[in-house]
Structure formats: structure tokens, C-alpha cells
Structure 1
Amino acid sequence: MVVANPGGYISAMSGANSRSTPTSANQEDHVSMATWAARKLLDIADNTAGIVAIELLAACQGCDFHAPLASSAPLERVRARVRAEVPHLDDDRYLATDIAAAANLVRSGAVVGAAGIALPEPW
């Protein structure tokens, strides 16, 4: 330790520390958090797909209201792909099914594929 009374900020940074063995006067973990972080990342990725799906549906709905004006060719292809799965919202309805369908398009890569834009490989 570098102070007489350590505060424990290191352990406050990770919720996974309850599953590890503390060291250094009960202030640090020597157990890798990689496994727990990877499991948490799966939830984060799933939630992110849902958020992107909601944004995508809102964008498509907004573009629909501006017809006959059109956006760029890549975005119009994305809108057509989304509308092939999720119809325009004319009246209030239960949206969980629409959001799930749009999230599946996001997860599968269909949205990026419809845009026709080459993205760099992540690694």
C-alpha cells in the first residue's frame, strides 16, 4: 500500500470481485476477471443490439413520414430491409415483436449488409 489507510477504490470498480480471492491487505484481487467480464460483455452486446434496433425503427419511421423524399442509397436499402421485416407503424401497437425483429437484423449483420458498406475487420 502507498497510504496508511487504503480506501478500497480498486475493489469498488468491479462487481465481480466478490467471486475472487483478495490479496494485499484485502484491497486487490489476484484472480483474473476475464471470464466474468466476457460473460458481462454478452449481456452488454445483447442490450446494445436492442438499443440500436429501437433507434433503427425510429429512424425508419421518421424517414417514412418524409416520403416521397429519400435519403442516401445505403440508408434507403437499410430502410427497405427493415420494412421487409417490420411494417410501418400506422397505429399504436405492441412493439416488443418489432424491436425483437429489428434486433435480429442488427445481430445477424443484415443491416450492415443492406447498407452495402464494407466495414473493417475487428481484428
Structure 2
Amino acid sequence: MPDSDFIQVKQMHGELLVSQKRQQLGCTLTTKELIFQKPHASYQIFLSDILGIIPFQLKKPAPAPEVLGESGVSPHFSTQYHRISALRMFVINRSGGFEKGVTDILVPLNERFIQHIQRCTDFIPIPTQ
């Protein structure tokens, strides 16, 4: 991906378990870390630094279809996100990299990623409903 807007993480730790890139978001899980990528920024969190992962439901925005001629266009974005709380996170952008202390990050994660994270950590799922 030499022409990609995604910033590559040069040193990944652990064995690769799953990786996916969809439009403007990339997610990679190894046995030791979780990496989120969006254009021009990457976020690297070690699994040992994760305090918790909580489902987070975004409020649906009011539908605002755009009419182009006789066609209606309505964007569809996932409203199911997860809030990840971590002791520290490494942020890599075009200016370089830096460590951020205790932080939360909201990311759209599918059930497959959550299941893989549960297998790699000692997190205990708690029903939210």
C-alpha cells in the first residue's frame, strides 16, 4: 500500500490474528496489541494496557437524504461502537509518534474482533442488556 493514506506501524508485536481494512478504518489484532488506522493516523494499544471495552451505541443522526436528480442518497454508518479505556496508547501521525496517557477511544468493532480479543485477554464479558 505505498500510495495509501494509512500510516503503517513499523513494529508490530505478537502474532497476527486478524486484520481488516474497510474504507476509512483499518483494524489489526495481534496476540499482544490492537492497532486502529484511519487516514493519516494510527493508534497502537497493547492488550496489557487495556482497562476495559464497553459497547457504546451512537445516537442515530436524523436522516438527511440528499437528492440528486431522481435518486435519493442516504449515508449508512454503523452506530455500534466500543469504548476502549487504556492506560496508554501510541499515536502515529505524519508529524511522528507520541505516547498518550490514560485515554478512551471510540471505535466500530465487529463481533469477530471482540471474540478474538476475549480469547487473547482475561476480560470477562458482562451482559449489557
TM range (shorter): under 0.3
TM-score normalized by the length of structure 1: 0.23
| TM-score in terms of structure 2 length | 0.22
Q: Which has the higher contact order (CA 8 A, sep 6+)?
A: 1
Greater fraction strand: 2
